[in-house]
Amino acid sequence: MHTVRIDLDQKLLAAAAEIMGTSNSNATVNEALRRIVVHERQLHHLEKLAAGVLCALPAPEVAAVDG
């Protein structure tokens, strides 16, 4: 592992640790990084899936309305 020194917002770090149930700063930062990577990968896959599904759907029928 590579060591990096960074300044963290302590209130934000504490809030993140409480949400994620982590016990120290290192675990909190690593879990936050893991979650953002998972989230972005899921979003990317959903976008690809939606694009494929939407392209495969037939065009909706439009009913003419006499006015």
Q: Is residue 37 in some structural domain?
A: yes
What domain range is 44 assigned to? 10-56
- Please report whether residue 14 resides in a domain: yes
Query: Does 25 fall in a domain?
Result: yes
Q: What is the pLDDT of residues 11-64, one digit of tens each?
A: 999 999 999 999 999 999 999 999 999 999 999 988 888 888 766 667 777 776
Task: Give the CA distances from residue 53 to residues 34, 41, 42, 47, 50, in Å, rounded to whole numbers and listed in that order.
Answer: 28, 18, 16, 10, 5
**pLDDT at residue 61 in the model:** 77
DSSP H or E segment with residue 14 = helix 10-20
Q: What pTM value is reported for the model?
A: 0.70
Domain membership of residue 62 (yes or no) is no
Structural domains of the chain, count: 1
The answer as to whether 67 is a domain residue is no
What one-character DSSP code corresponds to residue 4?
Answer: -
Q: Which two tokens stand for residue 1?
A: 């592992």
Quick check: 12 and 20 in contact, CB under 8 A? Answer: no
Distance, in Å, from the CA atom of 31 to the CA atom of 39, rounded to the nearest integer, reads 12
Q: What is the pLDDT of residue 42?
A: 94
In a domain, 2, yes or no: no
Whether 20 maps to a domain, the answer reads yes
Q: Is residue 66 part of a domain?
A: no
